[in-house]
Structure 1
Amino acid sequence: MRSGTYKHIEQILKDHPYIDRYIKEREDSISYPYVERDNNVGGGKAQFKNNEGTARVAITIATDKEIIFLKYTKRMVDECLEETDEDTLEIIQELYFKKRSTMTLTGLGRMLNLSRSQVARKRSDFLKR
């Protein structure tokens, strides 16, 4: 696997615990956009103006590419986590899901009674999946 792809997948795993928050922030930014105040005061009010704002917001949220990608990414990582064994799950949680992980591959190996190369292989197999 290319190193750029490897780093990208690692970053996805590091962001995984926060994906729900990212989705919520994106939905809020679509639902409540910043609208600059109009200084042009006066004039009449438009008659017969249709207000389709709610429908437009719902459609925008449902079709937003960033939200779709975040949901897809979360679903794929969750599926991989469900299919993995206990040791690999512990390795992934320790390396990527903790805020400040202090464990190294050697330290994880000692904790799980595995060699460093076994830990590296399990991590690599998970990232390939």
Structure 2
Amino acid sequence: MEKWKKDYLKGILRDYPNMEDYYLERKEKLLLHNKRTRQQANMDTKNKKLLISISLDRQLVNLERNQKIITMCLENTTAETKEIIELLYMKNNQKVNLDLVADQVFLSKRQVMRLRDAFFEELAEHLGI
């Protein structure tokens, strides 16, 4: 797998624990933007515009899609792989490396790399990259 793909997937996985917050924050921005335009439109039209803008907002759609795909991939993987991914990318302490994770899950560094890379391949396939 190309380095840019791995880096992209790592970034998505690091954001995964906060995706719900990002989603709510983006939705709130759309709501605030809509409140500013409320004075110019009647109530019925305003509600339709809000629903359309929220449902079609690219950032909201991508956040929701990525969250669902990551959740599905984590649910369909082994317990060891899930623990590896969580330790490497989803914990707040970013001072972990493959050697430390290998020690924590009682596997070799090479096996940790294989499991991580297999997870990346599956995630990339589902994300369409």
Same fold (TM > 0.5)? yes
CA distance in 2, matches of 1:2, 1:104: 20
> 54-63 vs 8-17, which deviates more?
54-63
| More helix per residue | 2
* Residue type of the alignment partner of 2:6: Y
Structure 1 position 56, deviation (Å): 1.0
Structure 1 position 100, deviation (Å): 1.7
Query: Hey, what does 2:24 align to over in structure 1?
Result: 24
| 1:70 and 2:98 aligned | no
Structure 1 residues 50 and 102: CA distance shift in structure 2, 3 A: closer
Structure 1 position 102, deviation (Å): 2.6
* Residue type of the alignment partner of 2:119: F
Give ranges in structure 2 of 5+ residues lacking alignment: 123-129
Aligned counterparts, 1:1-129, within 5 A = 1-33=1-33, 35=36, 50-51=42-43, 52-129=45-122
- SS at 2:71 equivalent: helix
Point out the structure with max Rg over C-alpha: 1
Give ranges in structure 1 of 5+ residues lacking alignment: 36-45
Superposition CA RMSD, Å: 1.9
What is the CA deviation profile of residues 59-95 of structure 1, one whole-angstrom value per residue up to 9, with x for unaligned ones? 1101111111111101110110001111111111101
Q: TM-score, normalised by structure 2?
A: 0.84
CA distance in 1, matches of 2:74, 2:65: 14
Q: TM-score, normalised by structure 1?
A: 0.84
CA distance in 2, matches of 1:100, 1:107: 12
CA distance in 2, matches of 1:56, 1:98: 38
